[in-house]
Homo-oligomer: A and B are copies of this chain.
Amino acid sequence: MDDHNNTKALVFRQMDLERENLLQQLKADYRQIIINYFAGNETSKGKIDKFIHKVFDYNLPVPQIIEIHMDLIDELAKQLKVEGRSDDILLDYRLTLIDILAHLCEMYRCSLTR
């Protein structure tokens, strides 16, 4: 590889790292949202709002959000199993996903209409 291509490869690697960082950040945010969802307080609502705006600003493909949700649910299921607790609560977290998708979808719809 010549210098030019080396630079390109570096830029690509940098983009890859930034993308991975963002996804990890979103995953951490979503974990906080899920865990506090049924507290339903202002902090929890603020976090959801911030998450939706971040996803919107980065124009994240929706399948990625679904993937973040599924990964987290899998992780929590394993954790509950290790602790010998029921995983019934995990079904309720679908409401969190519905809430987020509905608000995000309305945000995209309104941006398109304007």
Write the residues of chain A forming the contact surface with B, with a CB cutoff of 8 angstroms. 59, 61-63, 65-66, 91, 94-95, 97-98, 101-106, 108-109, 111-113
Q: A59-B113, A62-B105, A66-B98 are in contact. List 5 more A-B contacts (CB 8 A).
A: A62-B103, A94-B94, A97-B98, A108-B112, A112-B112
A35–chain B nearest beta-carbon distance, Å: 19
The smallest C-beta distance from A104 to any residue of chain B, in angstroms, reads 6
Closest 3 CB pairs of A and B: A108-B108, A105-B105, A101-B101
A102 to B112: give the CA distance in the assembly, Å: 17
Given A97-B98, A98-B98, A98-B101, is A109 in contact with B106 using a C-beta cutoff of 8 Å?
Answer: no
Report if A59-B101 is in contact (Cβ < 8 Å); known contacts: A94-B94, A94-B95, A95-B94: no
